[in-house]
Amino acid sequence: MPAIEADPTRAEGSARDDQGQLHFPPVTRDHILNCSYDAWFPKYRTSCIKSRIIPLTPEFVSYIREDGIVLADEGNNNPDDDDWEPTNPSKDYPAPPRDPNEPEYSDDSEDEAEPLPPRLPPNKRFPTLHAQITSAIAELGGTVAPKLNWSSPKDATWISRHPNTVKCTSANDVYVLLKSSSFISHDLDHAFDDTVPSSSMTPPFQPVLVLRSFFNPLPSLEFRCFVKGRNLIGITQRDPNYYAFLNSLRPHIVKRIKEFFLKRLKFTFPDACFVFDVYVPEAGYDSDERLGRARLIDINPWAPRTDSILFDWGELLDTRVERPVLGGALSEADQKDHEGGGDSWDDDESEEEEGEYVPELRIVEKDDPLAYNFSSPAYSAHKMPKEVVDASMAGEGGMREFADQWRRMQEAQQQVQGQGQGQGQE
C-alpha cells in the first residue's frame, strides 16, 4: 500500500500525486479483519442472506492449497470404512510436498516404493468438517453460494456443474470451486498484504467457510456503496451492463440504501471508512414501494483492493464530507447525541436526512463507453486453474482423467441429490 504522510508532490486535499499515483490512508490488519464475514455477519444477520459460518481446520486449508482435486466419494463416506481406493493416484496428479500440519496416514504396508501415501478424499481426511458442510447445505435449503472470509470463487464458475454461477448443491461442488479459484487462494495467503500493523492486539486470522443460501439475484439490482467518515458518499451499480429501467428507479434505489445504511450500519461498523455491497430486491406485489428492503451482501475495506467500479478511487478519496464521524463504532447513547437526541432508528425520513451527505448514484448509461470496457469475459485472467494446467501438461491422458473424474462425480452426485432448492433470505 502506498505511503500516506504529507507529500510535497500532492496538491492540498488531493489523493493523487504528480505521477498520478493514488495515496490511500493506511490499511491496518484490523481494517481487513473487520471486513471478514464472521466479524460482521452476527451483528447484521437480520439484513443478510441466511448463512452458516464454518471455521476451517489446517487440514482443510492444506487440501484447498494443494495441487490436484481429490473429491469425496459420496457413495462411500463412512469414515470407518477402509475400503477406499484413490480414483486419481499420485502418478496422474503430482503429490504436493508433505505438509507438517497434516497427520501421518497409518499405512500397514511397508512398501518403500511409494514414498507418499495417496491423498485421502475429504470425507476421510476431514470427516467432521465434511459432514458439517453437507449438513449446512441441507439446512440452507440444498443450494448454497460459498465464500471464505472475504472472497467468493466467482472466477471459477466456468468449472461449476451449474454454469456461470457459484451455486453448489454438495460439498464436492464447494471443494471444486474453492480449489479452482485464485480469489480463494488470495484470501488464504495474501489477505494481509500491504497492511500496516494495528495499534491494538488483533486476534489471529481464523479461516472460515461461509455458506449462503443460494438465490438468483437480478444483477441489475446489486450495488456497491462507499462510506467515508460514516457518510454514505457514493453508490454504484455492480453489474457492468446497461439496464434501461434503472433510471426510473434511481430515487427508490437511493432511498432503500440510505435507509439501510442509516438504520443499521452508519454508527455500528467499527471503521469510519468502508465499502458495502447490497442487493435491493423488487418489492412484493402487496407493497406500495417499487423496491424492497436492502440486503447486505458483503463489506469490503476502503482500500485499493476493493474495486471502485463506476467511480474512480481518486474521486472518492478527494470527496469532502461536511460532518465526518471518525473513530470506532459509537455506543447507543452517543449515537442519539450525534443525531441531536432524535430517534434515528425509526422511519422518519426528514430526521434522518438532516445534514446527511447526499450520495451520488452511478449507473451504466446507454452507450456508456465504460460499459464497453467490461465486454470481455469477467476474470478471464483467472480462468485456468492449476489443476487444469497440470492435467494438460500431463498430456492428453492427464486432461482426460481430470474430465472423466469430474464427470463421474457429477453423475454419481445427480443420483443421490435431494430436490431442495432454497430461496432462503432471512
Ligand X SMILES: Nc1ncnc2c1ncn2[C@@H]1O[C@H](COP(=O)(O)OP(=O)(O)OP(=O)(O)O)[C@@H](O)[C@H]1O
> What does the binding site for ligand X look like in residue numbers (CB under 6 A)?
49, 145, 147, 150-152, 154, 166, 183, 212-215, 217, 222, 238, 277, 297-298, 300, 307
Q: How far is CA 363 from the centre of its chain?
A: 22
The distance of closest approach from Cβ of residue 313 to Mg ion in the complex, given in angstroms and rounded to an integer, is 16
Based on CB atoms, which residue is closest to Mg ion, 36 or 300?
Answer: 300
The yes or no reply on residue 185 touching Mg ion (CB under 5 A) is no
The yes or no reply on residue 155 touching Mg ion (CB under 5 A) is no
The DSSP annotation for 23-61 comes to -PPPPBHHHHHHTSHHHHHHHHGGGBB-EEEEEPPHHHH
Based on CB atoms, which residue is closest to ligand X, 92 or 298?
Answer: 298
The distance of closest approach from Cβ of residue 333 to Mg ion in the complex, given in angstroms and rounded to an integer, is 32
Question: Residue 214 touches which of Mg ion, ligand X, none (CB < 5 to 8 A by kind)?
Answer: ligand X
Residue 151 CA to residue 133 CA, distance in Å, equals 18
Based on CB atoms, which residue is closest to Mg ion, 157 or 300?
Answer: 300
Site for Mg ion in 274-313 (CB under 5 A): 298, 300
Minimal CB distance to Mg ion: which residue? 298
Question: Residue 222 touches which of Mg ion, ligand X, none (CB < 5 to 8 A by kind)?
Answer: ligand X
Q: DSSP E strands: which ranges in 229-366?
A: 231-237, 274-279, 295-301, 360-362
Based on CB atoms, which residue is closest to Mg ion, 148 or 246?
Answer: 148
Question: Residue 297 touches which of Mg ion, ligand X, none (CB < 5 to 8 A by kind)?
Answer: ligand X
Residue 22 CA to residue 16 CA, distance in Å, equals 5
Which of 281, 291, 288 lies closest to 249, judged by CA? 291
The yes or no reply on residue 66 touching Mg ion (CB under 5 A) is no
| HSE (side-chain half, CA atoms, 13 Å) at 311 | 26
Residue 343 CA to residue 213 CA, distance in Å, equals 34
The distance of closest approach from Cβ of residue 32 to ligand X in the complex, given in angstroms and rounded to an integer, is 13
Residue 121 CA to residue 88 CA, distance in Å, equals 10
Question: Residue 147 touches which of ligand X, Mg ion, none (CB < 5 to 8 A by kind)?
Answer: ligand X
Which of 151, 141, 324, 153 lies closest to 231, judged by CA? 324
Ramachandran bin of 407, using left for φ above 0, alpha for ψ from -120 to 50, beta for the remaining angles: alpha
Do residues 211 and 133 touch, judged by C-beta distance below 8 A? yes
Based on CB atoms, which residue is closest to ligand X, 60 or 150?
Answer: 150
The distance of closest approach from Cβ of residue 186 to Mg ion in the complex, given in angstroms and rounded to an integer, is 12
The distance of closest approach from Cβ of residue 256 to Mg ion in the complex, given in angstroms and rounded to an integer, is 20
Q: Which amino acid is at 318?
A: D
Residues within the interface to Mg ion (CB under 5 A): 298, 300
